[in-house]
Amino acid sequence: MIVVLPQIKILCKRSLCYCAAVLCALFLCSCGSNDELIEQKPDDTVYVTFKVEGLNQQLHDNVQAFLNTMPAIAKERVFLFNREIRENTQKALRAFGYYHPEIKVELPKRDDPNATEVVVSVDAGKPLFIRNCNVEILGEGADYKVFSDLLSNSSIKSYTLLDHGAYEKLKSDLRSKALSLGFFDVELLSSRIMVYTEENFADIELLIDTGKRYSFGKFITDETTDELLKPVESLMTLNEGKPFSTKEISDYQSSLTRTNFYRSIDITPQMEAIEDYKVPLKVHLERRSNNLMRVGAGFSTDEGPRMLFEWDKPLLNSSGHSLSSYAKLSQVTQNAQVVYKIPRKNPNLDYYYISASQTHTDLNDTLSDRSHLSFHYVANDTGVWRRDYSIRAEYEDYTQGSEKGYGWNLMPALQLSRRESSGGFDPRYGYSLNLDLTGATSGISDYSFFRALATFKAVVSPTENTRLVMRLQQGGIFGPDSETLPPSLRFFAGGDQSIRGYGYMDEAPHNSGGLKGARYLTTGTLEYQFPIGIANSRMAVFLDAGTATDDYKDDFLFGPGIGYRYVSPYGTVRVDLGLGIDNGSDSDVSNIRLHFAFGPEF
């Protein structure tokens, strides 16, 4: 039995009353605070901005950047930040060697509600110059030209203006280059800028010890990667004992990528496993799928709608053989081709391939069925000219205008090509040059002839957003059968990549039944592209000219016009309106033709 004393009862009652009162007070306060939040007025604080005067663009931008790093300053409190404004201005100027500035800070008038600008007027004064500059590279890297080049290209030299930013950049560049070359023990022994403000000069001492250069160690691979490395043994450049270089690793990885054998390539230096100054490399490769299939669609005014089906087997065996095939279907041409590639030494630059194709053409006055088999050897070991030597066997059954026939040719051929560009679908500069030489003799072929075709394309950028595009093409057929060859070997002009304003391959000498093709071809293009204020878009004005002729007695054809270019992530869309002008025609009416194409300039 529990007995509760009267005093305890009274105390409990009082405690309950106090708790109830506190809860009521909290509830009322919370309600009141909500009302206050609802009725609270928006912040109407006025903040100042900075205006810098009296400096050149470089100094102005740096001072402005330093001032903009300050927190937002209310107008009524800006007078409290006068010292900070001056200090930030001085720091910005000292970065470029100006240690004696005269700074005047003009605050906005308090009684003018529209005045919010703090005007910082600066006379930078004379900059400090570097009196003695002692920069030394010690260690094994002391004689490396790459370091001396960095020093000679830097503005940090005796009797030049002091620039703290350039000094920090030089330190960073030297260290980064040392690490990229395998000087992993590089050490900054001394880094001092001694400023003598009264004399207005500075002395610099920068001593860097590269230490010993590390070399490549062994490859660390798994069983699968070992097998996948066999087809590319000739590409190996990261031999054990060779001086370490991140560029060498990048170049080797790029070479492996160009083979098209691998889906994934991972090469990682194992810094934790270094022994005797040798860095092991962990290499992991994943092969591409055994069967790669792609389907594409497109459109051009030359060929109309077209479909493309591709089937590739990028790596057939440990010798690096590969197989690729495609079928291209359009209104005017249906073509199927199979190519079997066999590496000789370098699968990217030195290889054989066998090509077989079947082509049906129904265009203008040409109806042709052509069977083709060729054996090629490709050499690009110089890295400049790609040389393709081949023997081509072709049989063609054709109707060209009123002329019907068939022909068999066994033709030795040489293709020379060279291409350079700044890269991407819309290069700022670049060029391509192609030369195709082929011929046959009546002893082993139905025809005796020599055929040459040279094509040059170039793009340059006079300004950042303009392009100047040029194209030249010259071809000729020589020999006793030069006028009776199958149509695939004759020349025709006209179309998106020839003379705009004319139909695709629609210009050539005629016979009684229509087009018969030409012995010679000459075409040229000059095109200027300029921005129009729309993102990724340019307008173009162009002039095409040329002829397909047997004797150059015919007048040249001209195709001036205008166009539109849209640079998409997948290629350049080109829409052109060409005016075909034929001065030798009896008609006074010129052709107006719309041309549409999609793809790179070259």
Q: What is the mean pLDDT of residues 456-475?
A: 95
* 441 pLDDT more than 50: yes
Which residues make beta-bridge pairs with 34? Answer: none
- Which of 451, 423, 453 is CA-nearest to residue 435? 453
Q: What is the mean pLDDT of residues 454-466?
A: 94
Q: What is the mean pLDDT of residues 345-350?
A: 91
> Where does 221-365 show beta strands of DSSP type E?
262-269, 278-287, 292-300, 304-313, 322-330, 333-343, 350-363
Handedness of CA 271, 272, 273, 278 (dihedral sign): positive
Q: What is the pLDDT of residue 602?
A: 61
Q: Does domain 215-287 have CATH number 3.40.50.720?
A: no
Contact of 146 with 178, CB cutoff 8 Å? no
Which residues make beta-bridge pairs with 341? Answer: 322, 353
Work out the mean pLDDT of the chain and round it to a whole number: 89
CATH code of 362-598, in short, is 2.40.160.50
Beta-sheet pairing, 520-531 with 537-549: antiparallel
Residues 541-553: tens digit of each pLDDT: 999 999 999 999 9
Q: What is the pLDDT of residue 401?
A: 85
* 525 pLDDT more than 80: yes
Q: What is the CA radius of gyration of the chain?
A: 38
Q: What is the pLDDT of residue 584?
A: 62
- Tell me, letter by letter, the H, E, C secondary structure of 409-446: EEEEEEEEEEEEECCCCCCCCEEEEEEEEEEECCCCCC
Which residues make beta-bridge pairs with 137? Answer: 208
Q: What is the pLDDT of residue 10?
A: 42
Q: What is the pLDDT of residue 183?
A: 97
Q: Name which residue leads in pLDDT, 326 or 2.
A: 326
Q: What is the pLDDT of residue 6?
A: 43
Confidence label for 4 from pLDDT (cuts 50, 70 and 90): very low
Q: Does domain 129-209 have CATH number 3.40.50.1000?
A: no
Task: Provide the 8-state DSSP code for 598.
Answer: E
Beta-sheet pairing, 350-363 with 366-379: antiparallel
Confidence label for 586 from pLDDT (cuts 50, 70 and 90): low
Q: What is the mean pLDDT of residues 463-470?
A: 93
Residues 21-74: tens digit of each pLDDT: 443 444 444 444 434 333 334 457 889 999 999 999 999 999 999 999 999 999
Q: What is the mean pLDDT of residues 95-117?
A: 91
d(CA 442, CA 480): 10
* 307 pLDDT more than 90: yes
Q: What is the pLDDT of residue 38?
A: 34
Beta-sheet pairing, 49-53 with 537-549: unpaired
* 104 pLDDT more than 70: yes
Q: What is the pLDDT of residue 261?
A: 96
Confidence label for 297 from pLDDT (cuts 50, 70 and 90): confident
Read off the pTM. 0.76
Helix (H) and strand (E) counts for the chain?
7, 27
Contact of 186 with 210, CB cutoff 8 Å? yes
* 327 pLDDT more than 50: yes
Q: What is the pLDDT of residue 598?
A: 82
Burial class (CB within 10 angstroms; exposed 0-12, middle 13-18, buried 19+) of 118: buried
Q: What is the pLDDT of residue 162?
A: 92
- In the chain, where the domains are located: 49-123, 129-209, 215-287, 362-598
Q: What is the mean pLDDT of residues 152-169?
A: 93
Domains 215-287 and 362-598 share a fold: no
Residues 81-97: tens digit of each pLDDT: 999 999 999 999 999 99
CATH class of the 49-123 domain in this structure = alpha beta
